[in-house]
Amino acid sequence: MKKYLMLLVMVPVLFLAAGNLAQAQRETTNTAPADGKGIQFFQGTWNEALAAAKKEKKLIFVDAYAVWCGPCKFMSNNVFPDAAVGEYFNKNFISYKFDMEKGEGPEFSNKYKVTAYPTLLFINSAGEVVYREMGARDAGGFIKLGESALAASKK
């Protein structure tokens, strides 16, 4: 009887946990916004992003995130899809989202010393960080962050 009671309690808990994980993964994907107005994130490998930055003479903006990170979800849902943010970042940067806990993420995290999420990196085509900030921003603050990164890269 105790086994059945435990099973009755655990099954709904497991379904809730699986649903929350799936939702978190959907909210932090490496894709462009559905309406095409926000940031268009680069689709390809890190080395391909570096090559694109060199070819286009742009910095790479990297959103170093984790799927469970609340501020990361805020940025993905509210800031990156913003039309003004998209216009500014698409014009000035190659943008790249990088999950720090999957695939090449842990290696990238070690190399670039990512210790908090989100870490917002601006990296030149040689792979050198020219500007770094941590934490979420609203759309206006995020555009100002991009302006600061561009100014720092010209020094």
| pLDDT tens by residue, 108-153 | 999 999 999 999 999 999 999 999 999 999 999 999 999 999 999 9
Mean pLDDT lowest for which of 17-21, 46-50, 130-134? 17-21
Q: Which of 69, 94, 120, 136 is catalytic?
A: 69
Q: Which helix (H) or strand (E) holds 47?
A: helix 46-56
Q: 151 or 8, which is more confident?
A: 151
DSSP for residue 79: I
Supply the mean pLDDT for the chain. 84
47 is catalytic: no
Q: Which of 60, 72, 79, 120 is catalytic?
A: 72
State the pTM of this model.
Answer: 0.77
- Give the alpha-carbon dihedral of 27, 28, 31, 36, to 10 degrees: 50
118 is catalytic: no
Which CATH superfamily hosts domain 37-153? Glutaredoxin (3.40.30.10)
- Give the alpha-carbon dihedral of 54, 109, 73, 141, to 10 degrees: -60
Please choose, from the candidates 59, 53, 68, 78, the residue with its C-alpha nearest in 3D space to the C-alpha of residue 120. 59
